[in-house]
Structure 1
């Protein structure tokens, strides 16, 4: 379990993951060091708040935009309304390895 952009993700090696936009170039290596939980199948390590010495190494595969999110603000009685919305930018990561804690 790793944290990026205030969100938690369960990751495995070889997995492709979309996280909030990171300011990195395509093809560069990214190290996510906020590992909250580590398990190798036999031993479980829970971080307090993070697991010391553990990290996730990933490769940036590019960025993109998610689906458009639409909303509507409406004020009763005056019938005033405003449409709001936007598209979140994400970075696609390919998990290469998970480094175990010492």
Structure 2
């Protein structure tokens, strides 16, 4: 099984062709293709190639399917006996991508 380890948005993902993945917001428009050049490792035909830190010439091609916001997370700060209370909400932006191809670069 062919797969690659890709770094995007400060996180690392193990991807294979045909995978649908939710990553932090990308600047590409919906329906456009994007490529990830930060490929840390590639497995092809049972043979692993590791980068130092990236595999030279390797890239992963993906299609942007949609952009969306995640569920709201409430952050509440409270200190007893001092009347200190802060309530703040946060919704993280995500991009859903479809992995199309893995080019191993050699």
Is TM-score (shorter-chain normalized) higher than 0.5? yes
Distance 1:49 1:69 in 2: 34
SS across alignment from 2:91:
strand
Distance 2:59 2:22 in 1: 18
Cα distance, 1:14 vs. partner? 0.3
Deviations 1:22-64 (A, max 9, x none): 1111110100010011111421111111111110000011100
Which residue number in structure 2 is paired with residue 96 of structure 1? Answer: 100
Which residue number in structure 1 is paired with residue 44 of structure 2? Answer: 40
SS across alignment from 1:67:
coil
Distance 1:79 1:37 in 2: 52
Pairs aligned (count): 102
1:81 aligns with 2:85: yes
Distance 1:55 1:76 in 2: 52
Q: 54, 62, 66: which is aligned to 1:58?
A: 62
TM-score normalised by structure 1 residue count: 0.93
Cα distance, 1:85 vs. partner? 2.0
Unaligned runs of 5+ in 2: none
Which residue number in structure 1 is paired with residue 53 of structure 2? Answer: 49
